[in-house]
Structures are given as structure tokens and as C-alpha cells.
Amino acid sequence: MTEYYINASHKKNRINKEIYGHFSEHLGRCIYEGIYVGEHSDIPNVNGMRKDVVDALREIKVPVLRWPGGCFADEYHWMDGIGPKKQRKKMINTHWGGVIEDNSFGTHEYMELARQLGCETYINGNVGSGTVREMSEWIEYMTFGGVSPMADLRAQNGHPDPWKVDFFGVGNESWGCGGNMNPEYYANEYRRYQTYVRQYAVSDQEPSINNPELIRKIACGPNTDNIEWTETVLKTLFQHNMPAYHGLTDGLSLHYYTVPGSWEHKGSATDFDEKTYYTTLSKACYMDKLIRMHSGIMDKYDPEKKLGLIVDEWGTWYDVEPGTNPGFLYQQNTMRDAIVAGIHLNLFNQHSDRVKMTCIAQMVNVLQAVLLTDGDKLVRTPTYYVFDLFKAHQDATLVASHIETIPIGNEGDPVPNLSESASVDQDGRLQITITNLSCDTAYPIHTHLAGFKAGHVDAEILTGDIHAKNTFEQPDAVKKACFSDVTLTEDGLLFTIPACSVLHLTVEAPTAS
């Protein structure tokens, strides 16, 4: 019997809804065909956005969407994507497939997508090949409500009122595709560029940590375990004894992909053995070490944890599906990916004192996508259902919890058999998510509840063989189901979690008689 302890009276910090964010780049069929088909498409759409895709994403309550990249962001010039579509400039997408980018999806279309999703906006600015003026004018175009050249241009293009930009990334992967900069150079460029991310929406220039109306600015953080980058950037941002969060920055990004093989031979998304399955999970669990490593450096400069660690690119990365454009990064999605998602989301919850936002890469048809499309067909992947199971944690309060685990998997590189997190939502219900990493073993679990009396439990589960997937021929082979085998005990709950599964339980207190 596995013992699991939850103390609902030991409340920690809020689990920001933005931890469940998504990423959409001009890459392959993510934007075009995946999200945007144009107003004249035979595929049902609202202002060019696929209705089936938007409806599916609204079901999982997408809280924030990052755009336009990714590496694409640092070759994107926003003025190419405004005005009449026939007059927009065409360009070569040099990073992703060498295809023509016609810029028919630009600022107005992104803002319309965010409106339809009901989500916050996270825009990545161009530092690599752009200018300070270009970035400054984009902010003015999007957010200034007065009389100015850019505000007038926005009105001429059909949107008189300003939009709300919630988050703005100053550069992307500046250590690599975003300019191949060293950390000192980037940090000083960041200080310069962010100065011109003007806060037009408010007159009171308080630190943005205290004023949610302000644009929250994100600095480019490290690639995986590059602690030198984190240390150097933060040291530069905190020079002159000025706290970086006093208008300078609100967060530092982190990118890490789960790659079971090498970057040259990443491995198949569907054809893998048990050893590779556990190798993949081990790589996913490395996220815990990365968060602790970079958080430790951030704690030196920001002990009050006002700066967020923003994991705005994460997920599995395999070899592309046979016969597809290698630059489009299209891959299938199995229960292995669902377990990887369950591991990550539980980790992000547990580290939500420092992790304030994350974005899975990517939303549709690219890497660990939650949706796949083919013409007018739509498939929800196993990863989609994990986000559906975890959405109850959004803006809930993390509570103290601990589960006994044993090492399983590959000899010399084991993983814990279980991962978990627990929170109390705004209605006072206890929300629990547990991931069983084992490919073949179920575990009986005795959940001990302190500070909470269980009166009723609703539960849902996603489970299946590690290779199980949804296809356009069988779109519902893997989907969530009701889980009723839960017994209430004097001090908590008893249940058995099946192998290779993600389980969500909502526990309510007894109703007054």
C-alpha cells in the first residue's frame, strides 16, 4: 500500500493559471491549417479561426498563448503582418521548412484568436534582427489609446481601440537562434529594449509586480542547464542596487525539451520500447532539477520570489513523422506523452512559488501538440486530456502533500513510480492529480487527509498502453473516463491507480444536513 499525505490546512502559494499556457509559432501547420484557415475557407471558422480548434481549446481553459515564436520571432517584422492581406509582404521562413510566409496571420489575427479563446496575450518581440524603434512602435500600435501615428494606423486597419498585452518577451533564445549573444551583451540589450516597452495603459508607473494592468516583461533566460547565463543576466539586471522587478523585468524564461535520443536521432514518436519509454520519463523528470538549479540562482537576487521563472517552451521532441517536411516538426502523440505532461504539470504546481507561467510547445500540429488537424478533421491527443484533467488547479492554492515513491525503470537511471500535486480551489474543493509512471504496475494508494474531511469524490482518469494514440481514423482510442473505484475512509481515501495513467480527483467536504 502506498501512503499519500495531504494537509489541506497547510496552504502555500497560488498556482497561477498561466502555468497551463500554450505556445503557437509560425512553424509548420501550427498557425496555418491548424488554427487559421482564413475567412473564406470551407472549414467552419469565425473570422478565419477554425471553430473546432477554438472550441476544443476553450474546453481546457487555455489561460495564455505565446506568439509569434520561437525562433520565428527574431525574424518577424510586425508591420509585414498588418493592413490588407493582399498587400502584406511575403517572406521565406528560414527557420522552419523554407516555405513562404504570407503574413496573413498577424497582430490583428492573433488578438482576435486570443479574444475567441478568452485568454491572455504573450507576445515575443524581435531583438535578433529587429530594432528598438520597431519594438517601441509595435507596443504603441497595440496598446496606445490616444492620438499617435501608430494608434492612428491601428484604427485605419480596423481596430480603433487598443488591445491589452499581458506579457511581452524581449527576444527569444538570444543565446542561439535569436542572435547568438553572450549573456552580458544580451542583458544590456535587454535593459535598452525594455525601456521602450512603454506602459501606455496606465498613468501610475508602479512596479508591474503590483500593477496587473502593466505589461509584464520577460527576459530571455537559459537554455536547459546553462547556469552561467542565468547568473550573468540576473547580475546585470540587478546592477546599481536596483531590484529588477521595479519596472525592468517580471520574469526569466527557461527552455527545455524532453528528447529521448540525441538531437540528430531523437527517436520515433510511436515506435519505441520499454527502455526508451523510461528514458523519456527520466529526461522529463530532469525538469525538477532544472527548476531547482535556476531557482537557487534567482533566490540570490530575488529572495522574495517576485520574479517568475517562465518555462515558455517545454515538451517532447521526436523525429518527425515519416513522409512529412522535416522543418514542420509534426509528430504523433501517445500515452507516453500524456505521462510526460502529467510529470511536468505536477512539477510546475509543486514549484509554483517560483514558476509563474509555462507554455507547452506547441498548440496544434507541432511537437507535443494538444490537437492535430488534417483538412476538416480534428484529433484531441492524449496530452490534450491531461490538460483537461489538470485545469482544476488553475488559480487554486497549493497545499502541502507527500507521496511515498519507489524507483522504477532503467537500471542506473530510475524514475519515481508516482508524481502528484494537490490544491484547494476557490470553492473550497480539494483538487488532486496523480501520475503513474509505471508501464505495467498498478498501485493501491491510501490517501490521508489532514485539515479536510472528505464527503464526496468525483474522479476522472486517462489510461492505456504506452503506445496508445488517437488517429484521424480512430480519434477516440484514448480519452478520459470516469473513475469510480474510490472508497472514503475515516481519514481520507482508498483507490488503486492503474499503470500508465493520469488521475484527477475532486474531493468535496460533507454537505450540511
CA triplet 94, 333, 95: central angle to 5 degrees?
5
pTM confidence score: 0.96
Give the span between the Cα atoms of 131 and 187, in whole angstroms. Answer: 16
Q: Residue type for 384, please?
A: Y
Q: What was the pLDDT predicted at 242?
A: 62
Q: Residue ranges per domain, the chain? A: 2-8+399-508, 9-398
**Residue 445 three-state SS:** strand
- Element of type H or E holding 424: strand 418-424
Q: What was the pLDDT predicted at 274?
A: 98
CA triplet 419, 348, 404: central angle to 5 degrees?
20
Fold annotation for 9-398: TIM Barrel (3.20.20)
> If we measure between CA atoms, which residue out of 34, 183, 25, 190 comes closest to residue 95?
25
Give the span between the Cα atoms of 393 and 349, in whole angstroms. Answer: 8
Q: What was the pLDDT predicted at 144?
A: 96
Give me the active site residues, please.
Answer: 173, 313
Give me the DSSP letters along 124-170. EE--SS--HHHHHHHHHHHH--SSSHHHHHHHHTT--SPPP--EEEE
Give the span between the Cα atoms of 445 and 456, in whole angstroms. Answer: 17
Grid coordinates in use for 68? 509569434
Q: What was the pLDDT predicted at 328?
A: 97
Q: What was the pLDDT predicted at 369?
A: 98
Give the span between the Cα atoms of 129 and 313, in whole angstroms. Answer: 21
> If we measure between CA atoms, which residue out of 194, 203, 319 comes closest to residue 244?
194
Q: What was the pLDDT predicted at 97?
A: 84
User: Which 8-state DSSP code applies to residue 81?
Assistant: G
Long-range Cβ contact pairs of 233-241 (< 8 A, separation 24 or more): 233/183, 233/186, 233/187, 233/190, 234/297, 234/298, 234/300, 234/301, 234/302, 235/187, 235/301, 236/183, 236/184, 236/187, 236/188, 236/191, 237/187, 237/190, 237/191, 237/301, 238/301
Q: What was the pLDDT predicted at 448?
A: 98
CB atoms within 10 A of CB 87: 8
Q: What was the pLDDT predicted at 94?
A: 87
Give the span between the Cα atoms of 119 and 403, in whole angstroms. Answer: 33
Are residues 3 and 425 in contact, defined by beta-carbon separation less than 8 angstroms? no
Q: Residue type for 493, please?
A: L
Query: Based on C-alpha coordinates, what's the Rg of the chain?
Result: 23
Give the span between the Cα atoms of 32 and 190, in whole angstroms. Answer: 31
Strand partners of residue 49 = 36, 46
Grid coordinates in use for 203? 498613468
Q: Residue type for 124, please?
A: N
Which CATH number does 2-8+399-508 carry?
A: 2.60.40.1180
> If we measure between CA atoms, which residue out of 82, 51, 64 comes closest to residue 24?
64
Positions in the chain short of pLDDT 50: none
Give the span between the Cα atoms of 53 and 29, in whole angstroms. Answer: 13
Grid coordinates in use for 360? 507547452
Residues 6+ apart with CB under 8 A from 495: 444, 445, 447, 459, 483, 485, 486, 487, 503, 505
Q: What was the pLDDT predicted at 201?
A: 78
Q: What was the pLDDT predicted at 213?
A: 81
